[in-house]
Amino acid sequence: MTFWTEHRFVVTGGAGFLGSRVVEALQQRGADRVFVPRSADYDLRHHEAVTDLLSDTRPDIILHLAAVVGGIGANRARPADFFYENLMMGTQLFHEAWRAGVKKFVTIGTVCAYPKFTPVPFHEESLWEGYPEETNAPYGLAKKMLLVQGQSYRQQYGFNSIYLLPTNLYGPRDNFDLETSHVIPALIRKFMEAKDAGAAQVSAWGTGSPTREFLYVDDAAEGILLATERYEKSDPVNIGSGNEISIRALTELIAELVGYEGEVVWDASKPDGQPRRGLDTSRAEQEFGFKASTTFRDGLTRTIEWYQQERQKAAPQG
């Protein structure tokens, strides 16, 4: 446990969906020097803000989770933002962390970095065997450059960095804004609102044929901290559940758990995204002992219950 008490941590994106779980898990491990920079104080797209952050906090370990993220719709609407802002935040912070003598840099990449037609399950060795799926390629490639940076700096400077590839995350406190959310919160919200309104139909994007793998957010935080403590290589590592499900089956499961009994109408004019997505998670288990522990049904149930409570809080009283 001294690992957690003897180091100073900076967690970029530490107020976000995943980052807040990482901060909580750090504190549960006894880390009492954890700094979470807010963008209003340290806009990491700008070099001066990066150097100010490192000067002000003098971290031993940086966990870089800050990112501009969103679902297919947001990626299609803002591809330049997703590329530039993610690239600038990551590469400048990484370089200045090396210059400042940071002991370890933990980069959180994205499953969107994988080629569009990667054989399932995705093995880390397949990362360079094609171009990412077009709708999120700018985001995926910006994050993928941090893998190149990490391997280059280890080779030339011996800088200790690791690169983790979480699959699609879900859980309580996710983003439920239909304009920018990912598929699980979007479907939960749609079905709840349709149920309350007595709507006969709900529209879902695409054909329902693609597959995805989902990881409960608390499990993801656990995997990140196990790697932070135990993993010392720049080879990329998948962080996932190892379970693949079609979007159609996912939609039916969420409708069941919400209690919506109407019809789902598939809007094939909307993009499906990557055809299949499922990870080989054996490297994480072998290298630092991570294995997801939350079943998909349990995780969805907790997420739905949380969102239902939030809706009740927001409802007009009286």
Token pair of 18, please? 């995943």
Residue 53 makes CB contacts below 8 A (sequence gap 6+) with: 10, 37, 42, 44, 93
Nearest alpha-carbon partner for 274 in 166, 156, 161, 118: 118
Domains of the chain: 2-171+213-243+276-294 (3.40.50.720)
Q: What is the pLDDT of residue 73?
A: 79
Token pair of 6, please? 């003897």
Token pair of 51, please? 């150097």
Please list the helix, strand and coil fractions of the chain in percent, rounded to the nearest 5, in that order: 50, 15, 35
Residue 106 makes CB contacts below 8 A (sequence gap 6+) with: 61, 62, 63, 64, 161, 162, 164, 224, 227, 228
Contact 198, 261 (CB under 8 A): no
What average pLDDT score do residues 269-295 get?
Answer: 94
Token pair of 92, please? 């400048």
Q: What is the pLDDT of residue 181?
A: 83
What average pLDDT score do residues 259-270 get?
Answer: 95
pLDDT in tens, 133-157: 998 999 999 999 999 999 999 999 9
Q: What is the pLDDT of residue 85?
A: 96
pTM of the prediction? 0.94
Q: Which residues are catalytic?
A: 139
Is the model's pLDDT at 272 over the cut of 80? yes
What is the average pLDDT score of the chain? Answer: 95
Distances (CA, A) of 230 to 103, 125, 287, 297: 14, 21, 8, 30
- Give the confidence band of 43 by pLDDT, cuts at 50, 70, 90: very high
pLDDT in tens, 157-184: 999 999 999 999 999 999 999 887 889 9
Percent of the chain at pLDDT exceeding 70: 99
Is the model's pLDDT at 318 over the cut of 70? no
